[in-house]
A and B are shown apart, each in its own frame.
Chain A
Amino acid sequence: MSQENKFQQVLAVAGLSLLVGACGPLISFGDDGPADTVYALRYDGGYPGTNSGPVVFVDEPTVAEGLKGEKVAVALDGNQLVTIDGVRWAAPVADLVRNYITRALGHQTDAQMVGDGGLDIKSACRLGAKIWAMEFVPGASARDDKVRVSIELSLVRMKDSMLLSKPTVAKTVTVGGKGDRAVMDAFNMAMSDVSAEMVSWFQASYRSCAEG
C-alpha cells in the first residue's frame, strides 16, 4: 500500500467524521434526564406444579389503542390518553399480562399452560386475550384515583377450532395513596382480582378442551 493510498483513507475517515458531526444539530440523542421508575406486574402466588390436564397455549394478547408499549396509560376526561411521567412497566403490557395469566392459571388449575416459547407444543386449546383497558384514571382528588383493568378472553378448542367460551373480566380498584408506587400497587391488586375471576371461569371451561 502506497503512501498516497493511506493518505486518501485518512482523508475519507476525516471527511466522514466531519459529515456525522455536522448532523449533530439535526439529530438529538436526548439528554441525561432522570431515569424512569420501572415496575413489574407480578402474580403474587406460587408456580405451576406438575399438572396433568390438557395443554393450553396462551396466545400473545392483543391490546387496545394507547396501551401498546411499556408506558403506563392514563385515561383523562374527553377520551384523552397520556402516560404517567417517569414511570414505565418492566416489559410491554401484552407480555406482562400473558405471563401473569400463564402463571396464575397454571398454579390454580390442573391445566398445563404454555406461553411464550410453547409454539411447538401440541396443545388442546388456545387461550386468547384482548386487553381493553389497563389504565390509571385520576379523580378530582387523590382519594378518587382509580385504576381500571378489562380483559376479554377467548378459549378455542384446537381440534375443531370451536370457540368454547368468551367472557370479559373487568375490575376497578381505588388507589390507596399518593405517588407512583401506590398507583402501581393498585394495578397489581386489580390484576389479582381479574385473575381470581379468570380462574373460576377457566376451571369451568378448560375440561371441554379434551372433548369434541
Chain B
Amino acid sequence: METRASHILVGSFVLAFLAGLIAFAIWIAKVDLDAEYQDYDILFDGSVSGLYKRSIVYYLGIPVGDVRDITLAPHDSEKVRVLVRLRSEVPVNEGTIARLEFQGLTGVAYIEIKGSPQGAARLTALPGQERPVIQSEASVFQEVFETAPNLINEAILTVGRIQKLLDDENLKNMASILENTDRATRNIADGTEDIDGLVADVRTVMAQVNDTAGKLGALADSGNQFMQEDADRLVNEAVETLKSAQRMIDRVDALVAANEDNVTQFVSGSLPEITRMIMDLRSTARSLSRLVSKIEHNPAETLFGPNEGTYDLESRKVKETEQ
C-alpha cells in the first residue's frame, strides 16, 4: 500500500520552517534591519589595551554601536585611531567626548561617549578627514594606571625614609623626649604652689608701689611749692639772660644788615681768594725751602744752573755743558 502524502502540506511546512529559521538567525544575530549607522573615528593618546573589534560603544550607558577597526593614527604613531559605527540617531556633536573605560577589573575595555550640550552643531568630517573625528580624553582608570608606577615608587621611597626615621636610635631619642616632657609637665604641676607664693609676693610689691606713689605725690606737692616760690627768682634771671642774648643778636644782625654787601662779597669772593692765597703761600714756602737747600748744597749751581746735558738738533746727539 502506497502512502499518499500531501505535497502541499509538506511544501508549506518546509517553507514555514525556513522562514522560522531565517527569523531565528536574524533574532540571534541581533540584526536590526531598520537601523541606520554612521561611522566615526576616535583618536586616543597612548594605549587602548583591552579594546577589541566588536567592543561595545555606549552613549550615557546605552549601547549605541561597536568598534569596527583599531589602527595607528595615519600621521601620528603615538596615537591610536579607533573606527566606531554608531546608530545615526546618536547625537554626536562638536562637544562630544569619547573615553576609554574598563569593565571592572577584568581588563575588558569599552568606549563611553559623553553627550554634548544641546544645540551644538552636528559633528562633520573636516577637509582631509575620511570620517568625523570624536574628541577623546583619558579616563580615570588610564590616569591611575599611568601614575600608579610613580606612586608606588614614591611610596617605596617614603617607606624607606620612615624606616630610617624610626630606627632604633631615633626611637630611643623619642622615648627620652617623651620622658623629659613627662618630667616637665610634672614639674609644672608641682610649681603651681610656687606660683601661688609668687602671686602673694606680687600683692606685697603692689602695696609697696602704692605707698611709694603716695610719697611721690607728696614730693610733687613740695615741688609745686618750690616752683611757686624759688623758681620765680630763677625764671626772672633766665629771662634777663635771654633778653641780653637777644640784644646781642640784634646788634650782630644790625651789623650784618648794614654791611650785607661787604659780608656777601667777603664770603663769596674773598674767602676763595684767601684759600688760593694760602695755597700759593704754601707753594712759595716749599719753593723757598728747596732754594735754600740748593744754596746750602751747591751755590754755584743755584746761580748758574745745573750742569745738565743738552740736545744738539744738528748733530742729533746729547752733549754735556761745560762750566
A–B complex contacts, Cβ < 8 Å, 28 sampled: A27-B300, A30-B304, A30-B323, A76-B318, A80-B318, A82-B308, A82-B309, A82-B310, A82-B318, A83-B311, A84-B311, A84-B313, A85-B311, A86-B310, A87-B313, A119-B273, A119-B276, A120-B273, A122-B268, A138-B311, A138-B316, A158-B268, A158-B272, A159-B268, A178-B313, A179-B313, A180-B313, A183-B313
Q: Taking the nearest CB of chain A, how far is it from the CB of B266, in angstroms?
A: 11
Q: Is B269 interfacial (CB-CB < 8 Å)?
A: yes
Q: Is A28 interfacial (CB-CB < 8 Å)?
A: yes
Q: Apart from A82-B311, A120-B273, list 20 A-B contacts with CB within 8 A.
A: A27-B300, A28-B300, A76-B311, A82-B318, A83-B310, A83-B311, A84-B311, A84-B313, A85-B311, A85-B319, A86-B310, A87-B313, A119-B273, A119-B276, A122-B268, A138-B311, A138-B316, A159-B268, A179-B314, A180-B313
Q: Is A74 interfacial (CB-CB < 8 Å)?
A: yes
Residue on A with the closest CB to B323? A28
List residues of B (282-323) whose CB comes within 8 Å of A's CBs.
300, 304, 308-314, 316, 318-319, 323
Binding site for B on A (CB under 8 A): 27-28, 30, 59, 74, 76, 80, 82-87, 119-120, 122, 136, 138, 142, 158-159, 161, 178-180, 183
CA distance A179 to B300 in the complex (A): 32
Asked if B265 and A122 make an inter-chain contact with CB atoms under 8 angstroms apart, the answer reads yes
Residues of B within 8 A of A142 (CB): 316
Residue on B with the closest CB to A84? B311
Max count, chain A CB within 10 A of own CB: residue among B272, B310, B313: B313
Residues of B within 8 A of A74 (CB): 311
CA distance A28 to B268 in the complex (A): 52
Residue on A with the closest CB to B316? A138
Asked if B268 and A84 make an inter-chain contact with CB atoms under 8 angstroms apart, the answer reads no
CA distance A145 to B276 in the complex (A): 40
CA distance A48 to B265 in the complex (A): 27
Q: Taking the nearest CB of chain B, how far is it from the CB of A140, in angstroms?
A: 10
CA distance A87 to B314 in the complex (A): 12
A28-B304, A30-B304, A85-B319 are contacts. A122–B269 as well, Cβ < 8 Å?
A: yes
Residue on A with the closest CB to B312? A85
CA distance A100 to B13 in the complex (A): 143
List residues of B (40-90) whose CB comes within 8 Å of A's CBs.
none
CA distance A179 to B311 in the complex (A): 12
Residues of B within 8 A of A27 (CB): 300
Asked if A84 and B310 make an inter-chain contact with CB atoms under 8 angstroms apart, the answer reads yes
Residues of A within 8 A of B314 (CB): 179
Residue on B with the closest CB to A62? B283
CA distance A4 to B318 in the complex (A): 60
Residues of A within 8 A of B265 (CB): 122
CA distance A127 to B273 in the complex (A): 14
Q: Taking the nearest CB of chain A, how far is it from the CB of B65, in angstroms?
A: 87
Residues of B within 8 A of A80 (CB): 318
Residues of A within 8 A of B313 (CB): 84-85, 87, 178-180, 183
Residues of B within 8 A of A82 (CB): 308-311, 318
Residue on B with the closest CB to A59? B276
Asked if B304 and A85 make an inter-chain contact with CB atoms under 8 angstroms apart, the answer reads no
Q: Taking the nearest CB of chain B, how far is it from the CB of A80, in angstroms?
A: 8
CA distance A183 to B312 in the complex (A): 12
Residue on B with the closest CB to A183? B313
Residues of B within 8 A of A183 (CB): 313
CA distance A84 to B316 in the complex (A): 10
Residues of A within 8 A of B310 (CB): 82-86
CA distance A161 to B304 in the complex (A): 42
Q: Taking the nearest CB of chain B, how far is it from the CB of A61, in angstroms?
A: 13
Residues of B within 8 A of A59 (CB): 276
Residue on B with the closest CB to A80? B318
Q: Taking the nearest CB of chain A, how far is it from the CB of B12, in angstroms?
A: 126
Q: Taking the nearest CB of chain A, how far is it from the CB of B268, in angstroms?
A: 7
CA distance A66 to B268 in the complex (A): 37
CA distance A136 to B310 in the complex (A): 12
9 tightest Cβ-Cβ pairs between the two chains A and B? A85-B310, A74-B311, A122-B269, A82-B309, A85-B312, A82-B311, A84-B311, A83-B310, A158-B272
Asked if B268 and A83 make an inter-chain contact with CB atoms under 8 angstroms apart, the answer reads no
Residue on A with the closest CB to B310? A85
CA distance A118 to B311 in the complex (A): 38
Q: Taking the nearest CB of chain B, how far is it from the CB of A60, in angstroms?
A: 9
Q: Taking the nearest CB of chain A, how far is it from the CB of B288, in angstroms?
A: 15
Q: Taking the nearest CB of chain B, how far is it from the CB of A177, in angstroms?
A: 11
CA distance A184 to B312 in the complex (A): 14
